[in-house]
Amino acid sequence: MSKLFLVPTPIGNLEDITLRSLRVLKEVDLVAAEDTRKTSILLKHYDISKPMVAFHQHNEHRMVEQLIGRLQSGTKIALVTDAGTPAISDPGFLLVRAAIAAAVEVECLPGPTAFVPALVNSGLPAERFVFEGFLPHKKGRLKRITAIAKRSCTTILYESPHRIVKTLEQLAAIAGIDRPASISRELTKMFEENRRGTLKELIAYFGQQDVKGEIVIVIGPADQGSKQFAEDEESFSES
């Protein structure tokens, strides 16, 4: 019986994969991978041999129809990304939506994702939070950051290493330099780093570093009593 399995994969440490995920990867007929080279390393590590096809942001519109056709013909497919859970800031949403529309069964396995350990490790309130993923580089960026500044719950962002200082500076310009935040870098890997402090302190620290690796930013909620954010659009640059 055909089925689309969404299989989370380790975000760094290869030990962070469930027994169930390994079983599914062994049982499916095909693995649709964001990067077949990276997925082949994982499969080889666990002595799993399966045919693979590439499914990433540059070909997902073209590949959806082909994969749905194979699912409808009885193929069992596992969808994996480079790291973490498929469709969370990674390709996958289009295929899941198409599978549901085609009445193909979809099963999502629990497993690794970067923003949960970053949130829990931050020490910031975790009972309510908003996951923003990656901010837009230009259009709509100021609007999103202003919303974060006003938000009464914790916010989580993904960011690339070469934009981290710029993003922190923009957050500070709108939310205030004293807003508490946390940066998690290279989670689960050998050089994992978790740095907590105010936006001002984090800017000072990362401004002097050669930042590398995957980054999660966690921003604490606004102080609703004193409204410590400043909607200063003139001090904000979207470049």
Residue 67, pLDDT above cutoff 90: yes
Question: What would the mean pLDDT of 3-20 be, rounded to a whole number?
Answer: 96
Q: Which of 146, 112, 162 is nearest to 219 (CA)?
A: 146
Distance CA 4, CA 77 (A): 5
Lowest average pLDDT, out of 74-83, 109-118, 228-237, goes to 228-237
CATH numeric code, 3-108: 3.40.1010.10
Q: What is the predicted pLDDT for the residue at 227?
A: 45
pLDDT at 224: 41
Q: What distances in angstroms separate CA 208 from CA 40, 75, 85, one per listed residue?
A: 36, 51, 32
Instruction: Assess whether pLDDT exceeds 70 at residue 235.
Output: no
The whole-number pLDDT of residue 60 equals 87
pLDDT over 70 (residue 141): yes
pLDDT band at 226 (very low <50, low <70, confident <90, very high): very low
Over 60: is that where the pLDDT of 233 sits?
no
Confidence of residue 228 (pLDDT cuts 50, 70, 90): very low
Percent of the chain past pLDDT 70, that is, above it, reads 93
CB 232 within 8 A of CB 183: no
Secondary element (H or E) of residue 207: none
| pLDDT at residue 238, as a whole number | 60
Domains 3-108 and 115-235 share a fold: no
Q: For domain 115-235, give the fold.
A: 3.30.950
| E strand or H helix that includes residue 38 | helix 36-45
Domain positions in the chain = 3-108, 115-235
Q: Work out the angle at residue 122's Cα, subtended by the Cα atoms of residues 135 and 124, and round it to the nearest 5 degrees.
A: 90
Question: Looking at this protein, which amino acid is placed at residue 209?
Answer: Q
Asked if the model's pLDDT at residue 232 lies above 70, the reply is: no
pLDDT at 92: 92
Tokens coding 153: 């719950």
What does the alpha-carbon distance between residue 121 and residue 159 come to, in Å, rounded to a whole number?
A: 17
Query: Please, what is the Cα angle at 144 between 165 and 206, to 5 degrees?
Result: 10
For residues 112 and 125, give the distance between their C-alpha atoms in angstroms, rounded to a whole number.
21
Chain centroid to CA 16: 16
Strands in 193-198's sheet, in edge-to-edge order, are: 129-134, 154-159, 215-219, 180-185, 193-198
Average of pLDDT values for 84-101? Answer: 92
Q: Is 172 helix (H, G, I), strand (E, B) or coil?
A: helix
pLDDT digits (tens, 9 = 90+) for 161-184: 999 999 999 999 999 999 999 999
